[in-house]
Amino acid sequence: MKTLFSQKRLAVLAAYLVAIVLAPLLSPRGFWLSLLCQIGITTVFALSFNMLLGQTGLLSFGHAVYFGLGAFATMHLLRAMHERAWAFPVTLLPLVGGAGGLCFGILSGWVITRRAGTTFAMISLGIGEMVAASSLMFPAVFGGEAGISSNRVVGPGWFGINYGSPLQMYYLIAGWAFLCILGMYALSDTPLGRLANAVRDNPERAEFVGYDPRWVRCMMVVLSGFFAGVAGGLTALNYEIVTAETLSAATSGIVIMMAFVGGIGYFHGPILGAALITVLEIVVAGVTEAWPFYFGLLFTSVVLFAPGGIAGILAAQKRLFEAGQLGRSLREYAWAALPFALCAGGLITLVEMAYALANTTEPGSAPVHVFGFTLNAARPLGWAPPVAAVAVGAALLRAVSRRISGRRETTPAALLQRQA
């Protein structure tokens, strides 16, 4: 039986720690460092959400409340440190954010966990919308539309570290992210973590053996709120401003996407999803105005065709490797790569042409530059190449998919399984 700190797990944690320590050396300033900081924050946020959905089976549409309140709590204390000379180490400020998320979890947890399933999801959505609306009704607390801001540099700091430089801020985020990941992973192996899995899978049976499902759900909401608040505290320090957007439904939606795309059935799934979505959010949004469409398409595709997320896909490849079938599968993927690229390229071109046509100000002219080609979306003939690419790519992809399915049905393993 594996223990929490088995040799394999210690090796993975050590490798992850080395990676986050050495990552800034690739580029100690600028875009790369800012990206790493955001990935660290979203990783903690996504994992805290997965404590509810993946571990306890609670789909929350208002998880940004804990994140945002943690950020506001941190920023208010930071402002008090400047304006009223309050003494508090900046290094420990994320704990203030965690306390903010935990306190709201205590206030709301017992109420929203009366029921699970759709009832919990709707109540969490309602509370999230109420708190988001309150952020504009109480400007003294939330700063109104402009939010509240402050400077994270307060005094000399410990050992001369005042977090004035982006590199120092990165290591603060990386350190807290590592501790939170370790804490949430350890929690999944505790009796409470196991009870959360039991309540997720069969709450009636858990109650029959003497445990209160509502109490278990409430504890997971409170602890999840704490870790989400820590992520909020980190984002307050990183950006030095907190606005009502941190409490919005959009923020709750993006963390749901991170968890689902990464894989809610695996602990490391939200880590992968947070890294991917953060990169796409910055890179794709900087390239095209149609980035919300691509995000929606990605989320829909994962839910329909890969419900286990990225982590589920990787786990499937691991099983193929152990069965000695990975080489054959890689050849099949290579066959499918060309028609998939053709179909995806045509779809992207169509989307960009649609956006260009909708935003054009010159009649008869809507140029689109994509994949090294220039097309005019205002001319009907300009739509012919991408439409043909989508049609041909989809037809070829369907043919390759059928061929791969036919091969897999005739493998020895499939035949033996059919006979059994």
At 159-205, the pLDDT tens digits run 778 888 888 999 999 999 999 999 999 999 899 999 999 999 998 89
Computed over every residue of the chain, the mean pLDDT equals: 87
At 246-295, the pLDDT tens digits run 999 999 999 999 999 999 989 999 999 999 999 988 888 888 888 888 88
pTM higher than 0.85 for the full model?
A: yes
Please name the residues in contact with 53: beta carbons below 8 A apart, sequence gap of 6 or more. Answer: 59, 60, 256, 259, 264
Please name the residues in contact with 269: beta carbons below 8 A apart, sequence gap of 6 or more. Answer: 50, 54, 259, 262, 263, 309, 310, 311, 312
Is residue 414 over pLDDT 50? no
The count of other CB atoms within 10 Å of the CB of residue 207 is: 15
Higher confidence at residue 159 or residue 406?
Answer: 159
CA distances to 96, 180, 197 from 19, in Å:
27, 16, 31
Q: Would you state the CATH architecture of domain 11-315?
A: Orthogonal Bundle (1.10)
Nearest to 396 by CA among 345, 344, 342: 342
Mean pLDDT of the region 286-314: 88
Confidence of residue 406 (pLDDT cuts 50, 70, 90): low
Q: What is the amino acid identity at position 199?
A: V
The count of other CB atoms within 10 Å of the CB of residue 310 is: 20
Which residues, listed in sequence order, are joined to residue 148 by a DSSP beta bridge? Answer: 242
Handedness of CA 368, 372, 375, 377 (dihedral sign): negative
3-state helix, strand, coil in the chain (%, to 5): 75, 5, 20
Q: Which two tokens stand for residue 320?
A: 């193929």
Is residue 225 over pLDDT 50? yes
CA distances to 8, 21, 237, 287, 415 from 17, in Å:
14, 6, 22, 32, 45
Is residue 128 over pLDDT 70? yes
Mean pLDDT of the region 295-314: 89
> Three-state SS string across 145-188, please?
HHCEECCCCCCCCHHHCCCCCHHHHHHHHHHHHHHHHHHHHHHH
Share of the chain above pLDDT 70, in %: 93
Please report the pLDDT score of residue 418 as a whole number. 46
Q: Which two tokens stand for residue 15?
A: 């490798």
Confidence of residue 410 (pLDDT cuts 50, 70, 90): low
Nearest to 65 by CA among 55, 56, 52: 52
